[in-house]
Structure 1
Amino acid sequence: MPPDPVRAARGLTAAEVAERVAAGRVNDVPVRSSRSIGEIVRGNLFTRINAIVGVLFVIILSVGPVQDALFGGVILANTLIGVIQEIRAKRTLDQLAIVGESRPTVRRDGVSEPVGAEQLVLDDIVELGPGDKIAVDGTLVETADLEVDESLLTGEADPVVKRPGDQVMSGSFVVAGTGAFAATRVGRDAYAAQLAEEASKFTLTSSELRGGIDKILKYVTYAIVPAGVALIISQLTVGKDDMAEAVRRMVAGLVPMVPEGLVLLTSVAFAVGVVRLGKKRCLVQELPAIEGLARVDVVCLDKTGTLTETAMDVSEVRALDPDAPAEAVLGVLGAADERPNPSMQAIIDAYAAPDGWTVTDSTPFSSARRWSGATLRAPGDGPGDGPGATATWLLGAPDALLPAGHPVLEQVDERGALGLRVLLLARTSGTLREALDRPLAAADGVTPAALVVIEQRIREEAPATLRYFAEQGVAAKVISGDNALSVGAVARGLDFPGADHPVDARTLPDDPEELADLAERTSVFGRVGPQQKRALVRALQSRGHTVAMTGDGVNDVLALKDADIGVAMGSGSPATRSVAQLVLLNNNFAVLPSVVAEGRRVIGNIERVANLFLTKTMYSVLLAVMVVVAQVPYPFLPRHLTLIGSLSIGIPAFFLALAPNAERARTGFVQRVLRFAVPGGALAAAATFGSYLFARATYDDNLEAETSAATLTLFLVALWALAIIARPYTWWRIGLVLTMAASFAVVLVTPFLQEFFQLELVGVRAPWAAVAFAAGAGLLVEIAWAVLRRRAAADAAGAPGAVAAPTAR
């Protein structure tokens, strides 16, 4: 039962709030920005890979020297790095989430004050205005033309008019009007919280990168189990005279089969991305959004607040009716608007409300009908149009208030073509309620009084940002609710492609295929309603495009939700911030290139290093198979493969994973990685095993010399693969490859390290043969890479909206 009017106006007292908090009747839905520190530690420590390697670590400690247990230290270091990076990202996320969270306004002790959503308690009186997200369920106690959009919960497209006594559900948002409701269900009892909890039981946020890595690990598991079992039997049979040596070589064969660093570097890359974007005041509300950014090839921009600044200035009020008190009416309309949008705020700044006017009825601006209005009584007691007269005034889009072909619309188009926003102030002969019930532009009785011309300020950073998108092959589309000519003029001022041919969204075709054709070939749209913004996003997606949408107003919410990546401005409505994956807290449009670049860096570099890790897994499995078939001792000890893996994969991969990378990602991650890893691993295994057999024939049972020759071959082939993956070369990438080569050379010529790693090249025949085997395999890997690059270029050319892939830096 709703509270009485007196209590509704006063709200809860401090004592009543404290009582409800103590009883646990508080909105305690947990923040979704990140997982707890305990979950981070457990998630990084207790993994399947760590379990496998941990068992092998214990085995090797029981039979071998500490050198052969070095791989255990690598795993520990990897885990610590993962924990530290994710905790760092968590702190960044949590701090930004506090800044970016919506703060509903509640009445307590007769005073309206904003509080955190988690501080709402049962029976709180929560005030509502345009753009407000409804944080908890409740019953309305007062309304003023309140319209609520429940489409995010129910799928119903049209806003619902609400009256006192009606229910409101958390997760919906206000599109027009004001009101207040008493909270009836909070926390996990609220409707949206229940939906979220149910969804989390059955669905996970889509991530092709993580899904691809899971698929790779599944394939690896299928290969490791039979190869590992066969290797164990083989080594125990071959090395029965030296069981400890057999166990060490068995472990050496199993450890490199596990791509232990791949999962780590994926987590680290995501975490570093969060921190980097956090420094630019960009809140990442869903981590896979960073990956999604790499795939974006179309970005849809709302003009107001994105290309132009939110703040506006009234540059002219052009009288159409000399007898109309236009400036006075504008001042009264501005003062009566409790939640002014940027256009109304410009009017408020220009015209103060005169004394003596009375507002007898009003309706707020709605993005669906595109006008606001009020019934005003002029000061004085005279009849008719003079002092004391009552009239209904409307303010909004001229084409929403006047029929097509009206002479005034020509003046509107003239100013719109200059990039100016034009509003019409008009009187209607009917009542305000009648105006709400009929389409005004098709009706008589609307008398134009004045044109309000508003100047918009183009953001200084907009030209450079648009140039970046063009250079990176990302198509930009301007989708605005403003007059199409005005939108086109602003776009022309930014040298925007297609700005000379803006499309009025009222002429958009209903057929989905025709709409998709138009959306692909057109860059500037005006007079776009909320449902049409959503339809344009879906049309682009239907043609295979990955779409990012930016916005700050209530009319952007539906499109933001349906876009692959929604980007909201920090100053935007709470509803837009709640549905977007990314929030630009400082409203800086210039951050978008950094955001896109970060996404490309993450996914592009993970694909690079995945090539290295999967190549290692492939040659390890194949070497195990060859050893089993040939019934010879495994050619390496764990220390040898730790050395090779660290210098050719582990250390370089860490730097490569965090380097800049501007190439747009494409689907097919697993297939592309396997295309390189399978031939690369097979060639590395064949060359290494050939070198090993040659050395066995040369040295006649000198296992240390045979291992040294095989180690040299495998390292050189792995280094060649690293040199391929590191392309295109920059000074630091060349330095990285040369540093790894020099480090291995130091091990070969330093007595202490020779003894520590049990490496010694004996004579010249086998070592030079090892180099020859490596050179042959390296040339074949090079040929395979060239074929793959040509195939990748052909695939990219055939992709939707494809452009030439930019060179990574």
Structure 2
Amino acid sequence: MSTTVQAPKAIGLTAAEVERRRSDGATNDVPDRASRSVREIVRANVFTRINAILGVLFILVLSTGSVIDGMFGLLIVANSAVGIIQEVRAKRTLDQLAIVSQAKPTVRRDGIAAQIAPREVVLDDLIELGPGDQIVVDGVTEESALLEVDESLLTGEADPVDKAVGSQVMSGSYVVSGSGAYRATKVGREAYAAKLADEASKFTLVKSELRSGIDTILKVITYLLIPAGLLSIYNQLVSSGESWRPAVTGMVAALVPMVPEGLVLMTSMAFAVGVVRLGRRQCLVQELPAIEGLARVDVVCADKTGTLTENGMRLSRIVTLDGFDDDEVRRAASALAADDPRPNASVQAIGEGLGAGPGWPSTAVAPFSSAKKWSGISYGEHGDWLLGAPDVLLDPSSEDARVAEELGSSGLRILLLARGDRPVDAADAPGTVRPAALIVLEQKVRPDARETLEYFAEQNVSIKVISGDNAVSVGAVATSLELPGGDHAVDARELPEDRARLADVLEHETTFGRVRPDQKRAMVAALQSRGHTVAMTGDGVNDVLALKDADIGVAMGSGSPATRAVAQIVLLDNKFATLPYVVGEGRRVIGNIERVSNLFLTKTVYSVLLAFLVGLAGVGSQIFGYDPIGYPFLPRHVTIAAWFTIGIPAFILSLAPNNERARSGFVGRVMRLAIPSGVVIGLATFVAYLIAYAGPDATEEQKVQAGTTALITLIMIAVWVLAIVARPYVWWKVVLIATSILAYLVLFTVPFTREFFKLDPSNVGLTTAAFICGAVGIVLVEIAWWISTAINGGQHTLVPASPGGSA
């Protein structure tokens, strides 16, 4: 039984001793969070490759004095702002959730108890404890009055632990019942929870195939910009014979469309909208690509307590024993639950299951403790009633003990309701015990847990239940959820340490109990070694390292601050059932970004090709002596060409519903359509420009008409690529394509826009040639799409299979 200190209470440290420890650095100074600072977030989002490329080109355009041709520079701000705002927003939300850092321990100094901030605790401080208090640093118990501590966030074990004088207590746990005081023996980074948080504190980005694929594409483009830029510079400044201002604007016009400037923005926007949608479901996404990562996950490692089950028990049934009436048993049990001054989770479950007590007046009370394993209340003429562990109160050889053991073997928690023959506060209580009933309790399985597991099963996502609780209890929960393999849970103490052998076990088994924190981490690594993409859910400090190592870490909002700090996704309402919505958002993002990537990269391909063709033509003019040729477009031309074929349509398409399953090979699939489409547009545009080009001595009107002819051809085929990417068609996609066509008709026919953007389609012969080149290009792009779809294993569908559907 826990020891109650009878001696005068210790006065704690003196003010001089506290000051000496502060000067020695023996304070509880620990980092608040394990994430990037605001400065690091800003730096990471501003100093990117794409911003550097656009920044240099923007400065070049400004040097010519043509501000309107530098409109693309706004994308530098947009690309940076979206990522910064989202990450800072997530950081601030998490900072508000840091419950432990806000808890103020009561410290006794110079004999006076006062609440202080956790950072102000020093080594050897005497910290008082009461029910619900958080243990903020490691220490040794100095005073104990039936002190019991819940260490489930550290060990995964749900049962409270008795803490007598001299027992160790660890940061991250909290007091369930009783009172006492402990002396701080490890503070700051030396405390148990702080060590785990520190090991997990290094910020790591979610693995994102979309992001890595886009980065790969940007690297290739960066390399292509060098020769294309040199060719363009030579052609514009030497071959074409133009002055430096139009030469520079022509060079920039050639280089800007090579950069898929909106692709990064569209990706961030799609992620950000997904984050907002999930935020409405109380799901905090700390990193934008995390929702993509969860959509690719094929194994989910779920903790039992707090994930599949709620933090509490539920009354299952009452088995009345011989000699007692069922009504009498229920009245006694409800009386004990209603009158317990400090009910634990089991007693609370009885009270919830049976309702209000009969109102019997009590004459004596014996609180529950882990040492004696029973509690009791005397009710005078109504008897002396006990509630406790059957293996303590029953004769082990009795039939009642056998029934209790059989019920307990299925993972249920069994309590014995009994009647004593003396007051419960007597020195020799409980005396002779008469068994009255076995009270069967079970863990509260989340009502949406089964539906969530069924969803993952349908999506071919494996579930591994990993818990620090006993294997029988874990297996019972898994079996109740009809999880395959739940009926033969594995005790993790018997698992092999070798990674290869551990991976073999994990491939075939689904349910594990008595799992240590280091084993959770090893399990994640073993699954990853077999090529699995692993998501880990958890709420306790014991889950931190596994969450950190998993491809996607999912923490519960009510869990420890350390888990919330290292996880990429935090379920603020603690609902495991939110994960299917995260998967759905991930699929929408992946499918739509792949869709719009076709638009942006098609533009990159035709821009690179057109720049090379014009540049090589310029070099050829120097070698063979024919008329030099300049770049056909101004920067404003390439800007408006992207408005209604890429920019606005891509934004709308990136937010559309999309239920396609996540597949690997993003770059390959995109380039199989983007390359042939871009080649067709580049060649057709160049041919149209050659037809319209009137030579180096052409008038300004002829130059504008030649550029307009090439632009019409480019826009025609680019709009058709948009129509291909939008398939299968639903009404709003048809409206989107029609609106794009209408917008270009306005730009080319309204006098103000024609003048502003330097467009002149008035030459009927050249405009007819532009339409013919565009029509040929459309046919070739359509053929390329059919071939690409066949290679990618898709279907040539023009309309969805069901009305209103969307692909």
User: TM-score of the superposition, structure 2-length normalised?
Assistant: 0.72
Q: What is the DSSP-based 3-state SS (H/G/I as helix, E as strand, rest coil) of the residue aligned with 2:631? A: coil
Within a 5 Å distance, the mapping from 1:263-662 to structure 2 comes to: 263-301=264-302, 306=307, 309-318=310-319, 340=344, 342-343=345-346, 345-347=348-350, 362=370, 374=373, 394=391, 408=403, 412=407, 421-423=412-414, 451-454=438-441, 459-462=446-449, 465=452, 468-469=455-456, 472=459, 474=461, 483=473, 486-487=476-477, 490-491=480-481, 502-505=487-490, 525=511, 541=528, 543-551=530-538, 563-572=550-559, 577=564, 580-631=567-618, 632-662=629-659
| Offset at residue 275 of structure 1 (A) | 3.1
Paired amino acid for 1:774: G
For the Cα contact (< 8 Å) 1:426–1:448, is it kept in 2?
yes
Shift of 1:228: 0.6
Q: Is the 8 A contact 2:285 2:570 kept in 1?
A: yes
Stretch of structure 1 that moved more, 12-21 or 629-638: 12-21
Q: Which position in structure 2 is the counterpart of 1:107?
A: 106
Match of 1:367 in 2: none
Unaligned runs of 5+ residues in structure 1 are 153-158, 364-372, 381-385, 428-446, 796-805
Alignment check: 8 A CA contact 1:503 1:526 kept: no
CA distance in 2, matches of 1:195, 1:289: 23
Query: What is the distance in 2 between the residues matched to 1:614 and 1:272?
Result: 23
Partner of 1:29: 31
Offset of residue 627 of structure 1: 1.0
Q: 1:118 to 1:600 in 2, by over 3 A?
A: farther
Per the alignment, do residues 121 and 506 of structure 1 end up closer, same or farther by CA in structure 2, a change over 3 Å counting?
Answer: closer
Cα distance change on mapping 1:231 and 1:200 into 2, 3 Å:
farther
Q: Work out whether residues 557 and 572 of structure 2, in 8 Å CA contact, stay in contact via their aligned partners in 1.
A: yes
**Aligned position for 1:94:** 92
- AA at the equivalent of 1:567: V
Contact 1:148/1:162 (<8 A) preserved: no
Confirm or deny: 8 A CA contact 2:713 2:774 kept in the other structure: yes
Q: In structure 2, which of residues 670, 674, 685 is the aligned counterpart of residue 673 of structure 1?
A: 670
Structure 1 segment 120-139 matched on structure 2, within 5 A: none
Aligned to 2:704: 704
Q: Cα offset for 1:675?
A: 3.4
Superposition pairs for residues 84-233 of structure 1, below 5 Å? 86-87=84-85, 90-91=88-89, 93-99=91-97, 101-102=99-100, 106-108=105-107, 182-183=183-184, 205-233=206-234
Amino acid at match of 1:610: S
Output one character per residue of 1:42-69: Cα deviation in whole Å (capped at 9) or x when no partner: 5555544334333333333343644423
In the TM superposition, what is the alpha-carbon distance from 1:212 to its structure 2 partner?
3.0
Secondary structure at the aligned position of 2:93 is classed as helix
> What amino acid sits opposite 2:605 in the alignment?
M
**Residue identity in the other structure for 1:670:** V
Count of matched residue pairs:
739
What CA distance in whole angstroms lies between the structure 2 residues aligned with 1:462 and 1:308?
A: 8
Q: Partners of 1:388 and 1:460 in 2: how far apart? A: 34
Deviation track 1:498-518 (CA, whole Å, cap 9, x = no partner) reads 59x843435999688898678
Change (3 A) 1:537 1:698: same
Write the letter of the residue equivalent to 2:685.
T
Identity %: 48
Q: CA deviation at 1:704?
A: 1.8
Q: 1:466 to 1:488 in 2, by over 3 A?
A: closer
Change (3 A) 1:526 1:473: closer
Rounded Cα–Cα distance in structure 1 between residues aligned with 2:440 and 2:670: 57
CA 1:784–1:160: 2 relative to 1, 3 Å = farther
Deviation at 1:640, TM superposition (A): 0.6
Deviations 1:635-691 (A, max 9, x none): 211111011122222222222333333333233333333333333322222222222
**1:254 offset after TM fit, Å?**
1.4
CA 714–548 in structure 1, closer or farther in 2 if over 3 Å, else same: same
Alignment match, 2:429: none
1:57 maps to 58
SS across alignment from 2:105: strand
**Cα deviation code 1:132-173 (max 9, x no counterpart):** 997656666579798979999xxxxxx999998898887x77
**Counterpart amino acid of 1:612?**
L
Structure 2 residue matching 1:362: 3-state secondary structure: coil
Question: 2: distance between equivalents of 1:698 and 1:777?
Answer: 25
Tell me, yes or no, if the aligned pair for 2:206 and 2:551 is still in contact at 8 Å. no
2-structure distance, mates of 1:330, 1:393: 19
Q: Distance in 1 between matches of 2:338 and 2:29?
A: 35
The amino acid of 2:724's aligned partner reads: I
Quote the offset at 1:26 in angstroms: 5.8
Contact 2:140 2:169 in 1 (8 A): yes
How far, CA to CA, are the matches of 2:231 and 2:446 in structure 1? 66
SS of residue matched to 1:633: coil
Matched residue, 1:776: 776
SS at match of 2:315: strand
- For residues 134 and 783 of structure 1, the distance between their equivalents in structure 2, rounded to whole angstroms, comes to 69
Q: How does 1:242-253 map to 2 (within 5 A)?
A: 242-253=243-254
Between the aligned partners of 1:141 and 1:723, the Cα distance in structure 2 is 75
On the 8 A contact 1:548/1:564 being kept in 2, the answer is: yes
* Counterpart residue number, 1:719: 719
Q: Work out the CA distance in 1 between the residues paired with 2:62 and 2:806.
A: 44
What SS does the corresponding residue of 1:313 show, helix, strand or coil? strand
**Counterpart amino acid of 1:107?**
T
- The alpha-carbon distance between structure 1 residues 234 and 455, as it changes in their structure 2 partners (threshold 3 A), is same
Equivalent residue number for residue 155 of structure 1? none
Q: 1:280 to 1:378 in 2, by over 3 A?
A: closer
The Cα of 1:224 is off from its aligned counterpart by: 0.7
Measured against aligned partners, the alpha-carbon deviations of 1:754-774 in whole angstroms (never above 9, x if no partner) come to: 111111224444333333333
**C-alpha separation between the residues in 1 aligned to 2:20 and 2:35?**
29
Change (3 A) 1:255 1:163: farther
- Give the CA deviation at 1:337: 12
Larger radius of gyration: 2
Matched, 1:83 2:86: no
CA distance in 1, matches of 2:716, 2:174: 64
Counterparts in 2 of 1:359 and 1:466: CA distance versus 1, 3 Å: closer
CA distance 1:312–1:234, change in 2 (3 Å): same
* Alpha-carbon distance in 2 for matches of 1:553, 1:41: 31
Q: Kindly provide the amino acid, as one letter, of the partner of residue 29 in structure 1.
A: P
Q: Secondary structure at the match of 1:673?
A: helix
The answer (yes or no) to whether the contact 2:299–2:463 under 8 Å persists in 1 is: yes
Query: Normalized against structure 1, the TM-score is what?
Result: 0.72
Pick closer, same or farther for the CA change 1:86–1:658 going to 2, 3 Å: farther
Question: Unaligned regions of 5+ residues in structure 2, if any?
Answer: 419-433, 619-628, 796-803
